[in-house]
Protein backbone atom coordinates (compact mmCIF):
# COMPACT_ATOMS: atom_id res chain seq x y z
CA UNK A 1 0.00 0.00 0.00
CA UNK A 2 1.28 3.45 -0.95
CA UNK A 3 1.64 5.71 2.07
CA UNK A 4 1.08 9.44 1.66
CA UNK A 5 3.06 11.92 3.75
CA UNK A 6 0.94 14.74 5.22
CA UNK A 7 1.97 18.16 6.59
CA UNK A 8 -0.72 19.75 8.79
CA UNK A 9 -0.67 23.57 9.01
CA UNK A 10 -3.04 25.23 11.50
CA UNK A 11 -2.53 27.65 14.37
CA UNK A 12 -4.92 25.71 16.63
CA UNK A 13 -3.39 22.74 18.41
CA UNK A 14 -6.79 21.08 18.84
CA UNK A 15 -7.43 21.14 15.08
CA UNK A 16 -4.00 19.69 14.32
CA UNK A 17 -4.47 16.95 16.88
CA UNK A 18 -7.96 16.16 15.63
CA UNK A 19 -6.73 15.76 12.06
CA UNK A 20 -3.78 13.68 13.24
CA UNK A 21 -6.05 11.33 15.18
CA UNK A 22 -8.33 10.85 12.18
CA UNK A 23 -5.52 10.33 9.67
CA UNK A 24 -3.69 7.89 11.92
CA UNK A 25 -6.69 5.54 11.78
CA UNK A 26 -5.48 4.63 8.27
CA UNK A 27 -2.12 3.11 7.38
CA UNK A 28 -2.38 5.00 4.09
CA UNK A 29 -1.34 8.29 5.71
CA UNK A 30 1.76 9.36 7.62
CA UNK A 31 1.89 12.70 9.46
CA UNK A 32 5.42 13.94 8.78
CA UNK A 33 5.05 17.31 10.46
CA UNK A 34 2.91 20.11 11.88
CA UNK A 35 3.20 23.89 11.60
CA UNK A 36 1.45 26.74 13.42
CA UNK A 37 1.61 29.22 10.53
CA UNK A 38 2.48 29.58 6.88
CA UNK A 39 6.06 30.67 7.55
CA UNK A 40 6.83 27.50 9.47
CA UNK A 41 5.16 25.42 6.76
CA UNK A 42 7.21 26.95 3.94
CA UNK A 43 10.44 26.36 5.90
CA UNK A 44 9.56 22.68 6.52
CA UNK A 45 8.55 21.59 3.02
CA UNK A 46 12.02 20.94 1.58
CA UNK A 47 13.01 18.94 4.66
CA UNK A 48 9.82 16.91 5.06
CA UNK A 49 8.91 16.40 1.37
CA UNK A 50 5.17 15.96 2.05
CA UNK A 51 2.84 14.55 -0.58
CA UNK A 52 -0.03 16.79 0.57
CA UNK A 53 -0.34 19.93 2.73
CA UNK A 54 -3.48 20.55 4.78
CA UNK A 55 -3.42 24.34 5.07
CA UNK A 56 -5.45 26.65 7.29
CA UNK A 57 -6.02 30.07 5.73
CA UNK A 58 -6.42 32.41 8.67
CA UNK A 59 -3.20 32.22 10.73
CA UNK A 60 -0.87 34.69 12.50
CA UNK A 61 2.67 35.54 11.28
CA UNK A 62 1.92 34.26 7.76
CA UNK A 63 -1.52 33.30 6.47
CA UNK A 64 -2.26 30.27 4.35
CA UNK A 65 -2.82 32.47 1.30
CA UNK A 66 0.56 34.16 1.77
CA UNK A 67 2.22 30.78 2.15
CA UNK A 68 0.50 29.46 -0.99
CA UNK A 69 1.66 32.52 -2.91
CA UNK A 70 5.25 31.87 -1.82
CA UNK A 71 4.98 28.21 -2.78
CA UNK A 72 3.60 29.14 -6.18
CA UNK A 73 6.44 31.61 -6.75
CA UNK A 74 8.93 28.86 -5.80
CA UNK A 75 7.25 26.51 -8.31
CA UNK A 76 6.47 24.11 -5.47
CA UNK A 77 4.30 21.31 -6.82
CA UNK A 78 3.11 19.88 -3.48
CA UNK A 79 -0.72 19.90 -3.59
CA UNK A 80 -2.49 22.02 -0.97
CA UNK A 81 -5.91 21.31 0.51
CA UNK A 82 -7.53 24.30 2.21
CA UNK A 83 -8.82 24.01 5.77
CA UNK A 84 -11.46 26.60 6.54
CA UNK A 85 -14.64 27.43 8.44
CA UNK A 86 -18.16 28.34 7.39
CA UNK A 87 -17.55 32.10 7.28
CA UNK A 88 -14.40 32.17 5.12
CA UNK A 89 -15.84 31.89 1.61
CA UNK A 90 -13.74 34.70 0.13
CA UNK A 91 -10.52 33.27 1.58
CA UNK A 92 -11.47 29.85 0.23
CA UNK A 93 -12.12 31.26 -3.24
CA UNK A 94 -8.78 33.06 -3.23
CA UNK A 95 -7.10 29.83 -2.17
CA UNK A 96 -8.65 27.95 -5.07
CA UNK A 97 -7.48 30.72 -7.39
CA UNK A 98 -3.95 30.12 -6.10
CA UNK A 99 -4.22 26.48 -7.10
CA UNK A 100 -5.48 24.65 -4.02
CA UNK A 101 -6.52 21.09 -4.87
CA UNK A 102 -9.43 20.96 -2.50
CA UNK A 103 -11.42 22.60 0.24
CA UNK A 104 -12.36 21.10 3.59
CA UNK A 105 -14.38 22.41 6.50
CA UNK A 106 -12.59 21.68 9.74
CA UNK A 107 -15.45 19.48 10.92
CA UNK A 108 -15.44 17.40 7.74
CA UNK A 109 -16.07 13.67 7.84
CA UNK A 110 -13.29 11.08 7.84
CA UNK A 111 -14.41 9.79 4.44
CA UNK A 112 -14.40 13.25 2.88
CA UNK A 113 -10.96 14.01 4.30
CA UNK A 114 -9.51 10.81 2.87
CA UNK A 115 -11.21 11.33 -0.50
CA UNK A 116 -9.84 14.86 -0.84
CA UNK A 117 -6.29 13.78 0.00
CA UNK A 118 -6.40 10.89 -2.47
CA UNK A 119 -7.71 13.19 -5.22
CA UNK A 120 -5.01 15.77 -4.49
CA UNK A 121 -2.25 13.16 -4.70
CA UNK A 122 -3.60 12.05 -8.09
CA UNK A 123 -3.32 15.64 -9.27
CA UNK A 124 -7.07 16.21 -9.35
CA UNK A 125 -9.05 19.10 -7.94
CA UNK A 126 -12.11 17.90 -6.09
CA UNK A 127 -14.78 20.47 -6.87
CA UNK A 128 -18.33 20.21 -5.59
CA UNK A 129 -21.37 22.01 -6.94
CA UNK A 130 -21.65 23.94 -3.65
CA UNK A 131 -18.06 25.20 -3.87
CA UNK A 132 -18.33 26.20 -7.51
CA UNK A 133 -21.62 28.01 -6.88
CA UNK A 134 -19.78 30.17 -4.34
CA UNK A 135 -16.86 30.76 -6.72
CA UNK A 136 -19.13 31.65 -9.61
CA UNK A 137 -21.32 33.96 -7.51
CA UNK A 138 -18.31 35.83 -6.10
CA UNK A 139 -16.42 36.15 -9.37
CA UNK A 140 -19.44 37.11 -11.47
CA UNK A 141 -20.14 40.01 -9.11
CA UNK A 142 -16.51 41.21 -9.27
CA UNK A 143 -15.84 40.51 -12.94
CA UNK A 144 -14.45 43.29 -15.09
CA UNK A 145 -14.65 42.81 -18.84
CA UNK A 146 -11.50 43.69 -20.72
CA UNK A 147 -11.52 43.32 -24.48
CA UNK A 148 -14.34 40.74 -24.30
CA UNK A 149 -14.14 39.64 -27.93
CA UNK A 150 -10.43 38.93 -27.66
CA UNK A 151 -10.84 37.12 -24.35
CA UNK A 152 -13.80 35.01 -25.45
CA UNK A 153 -11.98 33.86 -28.59
CA UNK A 154 -9.09 32.53 -26.50
CA UNK A 155 -10.80 29.18 -25.94
CA UNK A 156 -12.63 27.09 -28.53
CA UNK A 157 -16.35 26.38 -28.18
CA UNK A 158 -15.58 22.81 -27.10
CA UNK A 159 -13.07 23.99 -24.51
CA UNK A 160 -15.62 26.43 -23.08
CA UNK A 161 -18.23 23.64 -22.98
CA UNK A 162 -15.83 21.41 -21.05
CA UNK A 163 -14.90 24.21 -18.66
CA UNK A 164 -18.58 24.93 -18.00
CA UNK A 165 -19.05 21.28 -17.05
CA UNK A 166 -16.02 21.46 -14.77
CA UNK A 167 -17.51 24.55 -13.10
CA UNK A 168 -20.68 22.56 -12.43
CA UNK A 169 -18.65 19.93 -10.58
CA UNK A 170 -18.53 17.18 -13.23
CA UNK A 171 -15.51 14.87 -13.46
CA UNK A 172 -13.63 14.07 -16.66
CA UNK A 173 -15.34 10.70 -17.05
CA UNK A 174 -18.80 12.26 -16.71
CA UNK A 175 -17.94 15.04 -19.18
CA UNK A 176 -16.65 12.49 -21.68
CA UNK A 177 -19.84 10.44 -21.43
CA UNK A 178 -22.04 13.52 -21.81
CA UNK A 179 -20.11 14.79 -24.86
CA UNK A 180 -19.64 11.40 -26.50
CA UNK A 181 -15.85 11.61 -26.52
CA UNK A 182 -13.03 9.68 -24.84
CA UNK A 183 -11.97 10.62 -21.31
CA UNK A 184 -8.40 11.13 -22.55
CA UNK A 185 -9.75 13.67 -25.07
CA UNK A 186 -11.36 15.63 -22.23
CA UNK A 187 -8.06 15.60 -20.35
CA UNK A 188 -6.23 16.78 -23.48
CA UNK A 189 -8.68 19.68 -23.82
CA UNK A 190 -8.17 20.54 -20.14
CA UNK A 191 -4.41 20.63 -20.66
CA UNK A 192 -4.91 23.00 -23.60
CA UNK A 193 -7.20 25.19 -21.45
CA UNK A 194 -4.59 25.34 -18.67
CA UNK A 195 -1.88 26.35 -21.14
CA UNK A 196 -4.00 29.07 -22.71
CA UNK A 197 -5.07 30.53 -19.36
CA UNK A 198 -1.68 30.12 -17.68
CA UNK A 199 -3.03 27.95 -14.85
CA UNK A 200 -2.47 24.40 -13.64
CA UNK A 201 -5.69 23.26 -11.98
CA UNK A 202 -9.43 23.05 -12.61
CA UNK A 203 -10.27 25.56 -9.90
CA UNK A 204 -7.77 28.09 -11.25
CA UNK A 205 -9.10 27.61 -14.78
CA UNK A 206 -12.70 28.26 -13.71
CA UNK A 207 -11.86 31.29 -11.57
CA UNK A 208 -9.60 32.80 -14.24
CA UNK A 209 -12.12 32.23 -17.03
CA UNK A 210 -14.87 33.87 -14.95
CA UNK A 211 -12.68 36.86 -14.09
CA UNK A 212 -11.72 37.38 -17.73
CA UNK A 213 -15.25 37.11 -19.04
CA UNK A 214 -14.56 33.91 -20.98
CA UNK A 215 -16.92 31.75 -18.98
CA UNK A 216 -20.56 32.64 -18.45
CA UNK A 217 -22.67 30.52 -16.11
pLDDT for the residue numbered 179 = 94
pLDDT at position 166: 86
89 and 157, same domain (yes or no): no
Domain of residue 57 covers: 4-126
HEC profile of 179-192: HCCCHHHHHHHHHH
- Residue 17 shares a structural domain with residue 43: yes
pLDDT at position 139 is: 58
Residue where a domain terminates, one of 99, 126, 153: 126
3-state secondary structure of 56: strand
pLDDT of the residue at 156: 92
Number of structural domains (the chain) is 2
What pLDDT was estimated at residue 214? 85
Strands 29-35 vs 4-9: parallel, antiparallel or unpaired: parallel
CATH assignment of the domain containing 150: 1.10.10.10
Q: Is residue 53 part of a domain?
A: yes
Please indicate, yes or no, if residue 138 is contained in any of the structural domains: no
Strand partners, 104: 83
Distance of CA 11 to the CA centre of its chain: 21
Could you tell me if 114 and 56 lie in one domain?
yes
- Considering the domain architecture, whether residues 89 and 189 belong to the same structural domain is answered as no
Instruction: Look at residue 70 in the predicted model and tell me its pLDDT.
Output: 94
Residue ranges with strand state E in 63-198: 80-84, 102-105
In a domain, 82, yes or no: yes
Last residue of a domain, one of 100, 126, 152: 126
| CA 168 vs CA 42, 62, 82, 201, 215: distances in Å | 33, 32, 20, 15, 12
* Residue-level pLDDT, tens digit, the chain, 217 residues: 779 999 999 999 999 999 999 999 999 999 999 999 999 999 999 999 999 999 999 999 999 999 999 998 888 989 999 988 866 777 887 888 788 888 888 888 899 899 889 888 887 776 666 666 666 666 555 555 444 554 557 899 999 999 988 887 788 889 999 999 999 999 999 999 999 998 888 878 888 888 788 887 6
Amino acid sequence: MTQYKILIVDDHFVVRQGLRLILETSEQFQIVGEAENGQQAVSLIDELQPDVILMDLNMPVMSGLEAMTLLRDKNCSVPVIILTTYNEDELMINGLALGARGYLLKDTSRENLFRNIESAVRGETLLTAEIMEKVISARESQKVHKSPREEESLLTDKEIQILQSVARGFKSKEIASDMGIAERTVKAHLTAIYNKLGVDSRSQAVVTALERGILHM
